[in-house]
């Protein structure tokens, strides 16, 4: 089993309805393929963690990379894991553009930086910490 984290940019800003449709599609596909994970969205940028069997994740990543709704996909972290960090979520979701985000416990100002910034791309573990912090606050 592997865990993979990537970032990408939307070709156009997603509306709330478009995000909802993307989540419905992703959750359905992930349930069928035994993939777990989480998706964060902010200012037209995505950060996603996917967990599952390596061949399934490879196939899913190939499909995602061919999706014309986004571009500039960068894999930040890809490593074997013995257990899932998001075992109960076919696709958790956090919209970092939501008002009131700064009131969440553990909020950090680095969330105001782009998810494609060097801060994330140079330190993939900060991506994992960000995703896990949202997991804790969404239970």
12-59 confidence digits (pLDDT tens) = 888 888 888 888 888 889 999 999 998 888 888 888 899 999 999 999
Q: Give me the numbers of helices (H) and strands (E) for the chain, helices first please.
A: 4, 5
Distances (CA, A) of 53 to 58, 72, 129: 9, 25, 22
Predicted TM-score (pTM) of this structure: 0.73
Structural domains of the chain in order of their starting residue, each with its CATH number? 2-137 (3.30.70.100)
pLDDT of 63-103, one tens digit each?
Answer: 988 888 888 888 888 999 999 988 887 777 766 665 454 44
- The whole-number pLDDT of residue 45 equals 85
Rounded Cα–Cα distance for residues 78 and 69 (Å): 23
Rounded Cα–Cα distance for residues 47 and 73 (Å): 10
- CA 68 to chain CA centroid, Å, is 17
Rounded Cα–Cα distance for residues 8 and 103 (Å): 26
Phi, psi for residue 100 in degrees, rounded to 5: 85, 0
* Cβ–Cβ < 8 Å for 69, 21: no
Phi, psi for residue 49 in degrees, rounded to 5: -115, 135
Of 62-66, 106-110, 111-115, 133-137, where does mean pLDDT reach its minimum? 106-110
């Amino acid at each position: 089993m592997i865990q993979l984290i990537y970032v990408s940019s939307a070709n156009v800003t997603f509306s709330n309805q478009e995000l909802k449709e993307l989540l419905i599609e992703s959750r359905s596909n992930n349930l069928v393929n035994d993939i777990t994970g989480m998706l964060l969205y902010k200012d037209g940028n995505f950060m996603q963690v996917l967990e599952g069997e390596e061949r399934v994740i490879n196939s899913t990543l190939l499909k995602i990379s061919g999706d014309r709704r986004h571009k500039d996909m960068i894999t930040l972290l890809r490593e074997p894991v013995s257990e899932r960090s998001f075992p109960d979520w076919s696709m958790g979701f956090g919209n970092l553009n939501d008002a009131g985000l700064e009131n969440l416990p553990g909020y950090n100002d680095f969330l105001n930086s782009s998810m494609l910034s060097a801060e994330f791309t140079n330190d993939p573990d900060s991506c994992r910490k960000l995703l896990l912090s949202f997991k804790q606050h969404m239970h």
